[in-house]
Amino acid sequence: MPPAKLTQPLTKERPGAKHHKMLIDGEWVASSTGEETAVHSPVTGEIIGYVPVPSPQDVDRAVKSSRAAFEKFRQWGPFDRAQLTHRIAQSIDKRIEELARMSTLESGKPYTAEAIGCVTESAENFRIAAEDVKRQESPIIPARDPNKRIYTFYRPYGVWVCITPWNFPTLIPSELLGPGIASGNTIIFKPSEYTPITGLLFSEIIQDADLPPGVLNCLPGAGPTVGDQLITHPGVDAIGFIGSDRTGLMISQRAGLKHKLLEMGGNGPTIILDDANLEKAAELTAFGCFYDSGQVCCATERILVSQRVYPEFKERMVDQARKIVLGDPFDPATTMGPLCNEMTAAKMDRHLADAVKLGGKVLFGGKRATGFPTNLYYEPTVIADVPEGALIHSEESFGPLAAMLQVDSDDELIRIANSGKYGLQMGLFTSSLKRTMYFADRLKTGNLVVNDSTDYWEPHVPFGGGGGTVSGHGRIGGKYTLQNMVYLNTIVIDYANTR
């Protein structure tokens, strides 16, 4: 079944919509059953192409191909793998516009303001992995017995299944695929069912860098079917998953003791203290709320504001929302496109209705915009006085939303920021170093950004969930991902008994 992307019926096919194939063992193949599913664009509502629906036999074939490829690929040295990974980055560089166009069409991300940069950074992730793998030193451990030497080596886990979301359809996969390939693993990549064509195109571009067959296989398909068959397959050694905590939990339970790298969601609180530069704080907080229509794991979702500056900050946030240009994501002037799918838009509706019911006051926006080709274009929304207990405080809203609450003391700010199950990336605006450290030592989060947006991100920086939260296990980001995709293998040699 095609995913339910839009509420209105969809029948129109976009001119040039193609029937795509999937990548198994270096070949582009249809499903063994011949089944396909249509992919719809949130931008236009049209069918933009068709992708194969892999059968259980296709899944099995992909795993066998990855296993066979691993036996050869594991013999490659790090410098050869680094060269291959650099070639992949060059292959991406040559087709940035094409990838960005498809990613905009499938996800709604503005082409000029966002998609081009995301694809460019995707190539950078391969470059970083290529360089990191050449410098991945492993320790020599002192032994008690002087005749013994204890060496350690980083070894690839083997066959990885990498399952990714739709919000960054090349950038997030590149965070796993770059380090995964550079470190000698083989990978079965399952892109989101909302952005499968971008995933297949990305795989084609990677394969074009002369990848040995089976080092990368790419199967589109739904999570509960193809995704589940992959993670439970006995031929799979490890799972890289980036997506919601609900799916992450399911994967943990279904995949048992396979090694896992899991990165999940957040509901990024940003704290505005009364000594902050309010002009900068409003500008950067708004960026965190509205970049990619708020569909970012580290988006700013709730804004906790010190009492004394609350009235001024509210006005500043409305001014910022007014500057957003909602429209056709292919228009260079557009700063915000449609939401990717109906599920996300419906969640925005639900969270806003809940906040208003509990006393929240909509200061700007607050509903789906009219006059667009689909009903997924959402007004940038500013809502004040959203009380604790509202869904916005406990769930991930994942939409263009600036939800504010006035808070009376620093300790109350910390308590509310730490409430709930998430702890991915938080924001803090202050001019006091002393207060920065007070908050930094008490906030339960994987990452804290002081005086910048919660969307602040660089590809080599460690990123992931804080302890005791559901936001993730392990770290993504440059050498930290690489570290999670290999295991330390210890070799003890008693050389007294050697020749």
Q: Which residues pair with 493 in a beta bridge?
A: 149
Q: How far is the CB of 190 from ligand NAD (least distance, A)?
A: 6
Query: Per rule CB under 6 A, is residue 58 in the interface with ligand NAD?
Result: no
Distances (CA, A) of 217 to 51, 229, 309: 15, 15, 53
Q: How many other CB atoms sit within 10 Å of the CB of residue 279?
A: 11
Min separation Cβ 360 and ligand NAD, Å: 22
> What is the contact mask toward ligand NAD in residues 217 to 236, using x (rule: CB under 6 A)?
-----xxx--xx--x-----
Name the nearest CA neighbour of 286 among 266, 311, 315: 315
Instruction: Please identify which residue in 66, 85, 91, 164 interacts with ligand NAD, judged by CB under 6 A.
Output: 164
Choose, from 46, 121, 175, 263, the residue flagged as catalytic: 263
Pick the piece of the chain touching ligand NAD (CB under 6 A) from 142-150, 240-248, 281-289, 411-419.
240-248
Q: If binding is defined by CB under 6 A, does position 108 make contact with ligand NAD?
A: no
Of 239, 327, 321, 331, which Cα lies nearest the Cα of 288? 321
> How many Å apart are CA 274 and CA 282, to the nearest integer?
13
Q: Could you tell me the smallest distance in angstroms from the CB atom of residue 158 to ligand NAD? A: 19
265 is an interface residue for ligand NAD by CB under 6 A:
yes
Q: Which stretch binds ligand NAD (CB under 6 A): 90-98, 202-210, 238-246, 331-339?
A: 238-246
Closest residue to ligand NAD, judged by C-beta, is: 223
The answer to the question of residue 376 lying near ligand NAD (CB under 6 A) is no
Q: Which stretch binds ligand NAD (CB under 6 A): 15-23, 145-153, 216-224, 406-414?
A: 216-224
The alpha carbon torsion through 314, 316, 318, 324 (nearest 10 deg) reads -150
Q: Binding of ligand NAD at residue 166 (CB under 6 A)?
A: yes
CB 190 within 8 A of CB 227: yes
Q: Is 68 helix (H, G, I), strand (E, B) or coil?
A: helix
* β partners of residue 261: 240
**Dist. CA 409–CA 415, nearest whole Å:** 10
CA distance 100 to 103: 5
Q: Which of residues 383-412 bind ligand NAD (CB under 6 A)?
A: 396
Nearer to ligand NAD, 214 or 265 (CB): 265
Site residue total, ligand NAD (CB under 6 A): 29
37 binds ligand NAD (CB under 6 A): no
Nearest-approach distance from CB 359 to ligand NAD, in angstroms: 27
- Strand 140-141 to strand 148-156: parallel, antiparallel, or no bridges (unpaired)? antiparallel
**To the nearest whole angstrom, how small is the minimum distance from the Cβ of residue 230 to ligand NAD?**
7
Q: CA-CA distances (angstroms) from residue 267 to 294, 443, 470?
A: 11, 14, 11
**Residue whose CB is less far from ligand NAD, 327 or 337:** 337
56, two tokens: 């259980």
Contacts for 203 with CB less than 8 Å, ≥ 6 apart: 23, 189, 216, 218
For the annotated catalytic residues, the residue numbers are 263, 297
Catalog residues that contact ligand NAD under the rule CB under 6 A.
163-167, 172, 190, 192-193, 222-224, 227-228, 231, 242-244, 247, 250-251, 263-265, 297, 396, 424, 472, 476
